[in-house]
Amino acid sequence: MPHKMTITGSATGPLREYDRYVAFDMREKGSPAAPKGLKKSTFISYTVFVAKKAFNKTGLTKKSIMHEKILIQGEPTLDIPIDECPGEIGIICFQITVLPNKNEKEANDSNNKKEAKQEVSKAQQEVAATKQEEKQEPVAKEAKTVQPEVQRNTCSREKGCTTKEATTLFCQPKGTKDVVSFDDIIVPEEFLKTRPNPEKTQKVIDFVKRTGRLDEPLTIEKGSKILKDGYRRYVVAKTVKMNQVPVVYEYQK
């Protein structure tokens, strides 16, 4: 029975695509505890062969595979031509797994804490708004009916926007200051290295499918349109193929 192997690390060379599989090179440091009298082993180079279907399930790309830490489980092979297998050992991969790294974990923890603070702040604002409404006298139905139109007209006059633009902002989540093209938003590298919590992301997707809009606006830098907060909602907007997204601005310092 062939010997099973497990190695971890990142790709040391570009991804090579073939008809039904992909290949890439990895290397791993040898054991530091060689028997007395024998030379300690140095780095061992591997060439890993993965079925395209299994590789695509990981979400890895030609660019990200050079930065992600991965775990490979498989068995060695001697049947691959040397031009396809430049490594010292060829491995037929049975299972490939992307491992979380320290920076990604810290970024996710930071995002989760920030979202928790935002949720608490939002809840406090809603409680304060409810108490304020309870103190006020009930207004006539006619006044309530007219009020939204007055707000839209005020928006059009003060901001110089058209009736169509005012209506678009009115239909966006609370706090929205503008609506911009999704393709204009620039996402920093530190966001791209993170993976939003799948369960929370799915909740936002369900909300969008139910209401037709995001639950909160994204925060971008005024002028450069660099994303500052709301990467989860950016991912959702990309998933459901939104052409425009609601935003609030963070001004450059």
- 53-96 residue pLDDT tens: 999 999 998 888 888 899 999 999 888 888 889 888 899 999 99
Q: Is the pLDDT of residue 147 over 50?
A: no
Q: Tell me what pLDDT residue 32 has.
A: 62
* Poorest-pLDDT segment among 71-75, 106-110, 230-234: 106-110
Q: Tell me what pLDDT residue 158 has.
A: 37
**Percent of the chain at pLDDT exceeding 90:** 38
Q: Tell me what pLDDT residue 13 has.
A: 86
- C-beta of residue 179 within 8 angstroms of C-beta of residue 217: no
Sign of CA dihedral 106, 109, 115, 119: negative
Gap between the Cα atoms of 155 and 168, Å rounded: 11
pTM score > 0.75 for this model?
Answer: no
Grade residue 31 by pLDDT with cuts at 50, 70 and 90: low
Averaged pLDDT, 115-119: 74
Grade residue 145 by pLDDT with cuts at 50, 70 and 90: very low
Averaged pLDDT, 187-195: 89
133 or 221, greater pLDDT? 221
Provide the mean pLDDT of the chain: 80
Q: Is the pLDDT of residue 47 over 60?
A: yes
Averaged pLDDT, 19-38: 81
Give phi and psi for 212, each to the nearest 5. 85, 10
Averaged pLDDT, 155-166: 45
Give phi and psi for 185, each to the nearest 5. -80, 135
Averaged pLDDT, 238-245: 92
* Angle between helices 102-135 and 231-239 in degrees, nearest 10: 90
Buried b (16+ CB within 10 A) or exposed e, 112-148: eeebeeeeeeeeeeeeeeeeeeeeeeeeeeeeeeeee
The domains found in the chain, sorted by start residue, are: 5-29+39-99 (2.40.50.140), 139-171 (no CATH), 173-253 (3.90.1530.10)
Cα three-residue angle 190-196-201, rounded to 5 degrees = 145
- C-beta of residue 214 within 8 angstroms of C-beta of residue 232: no
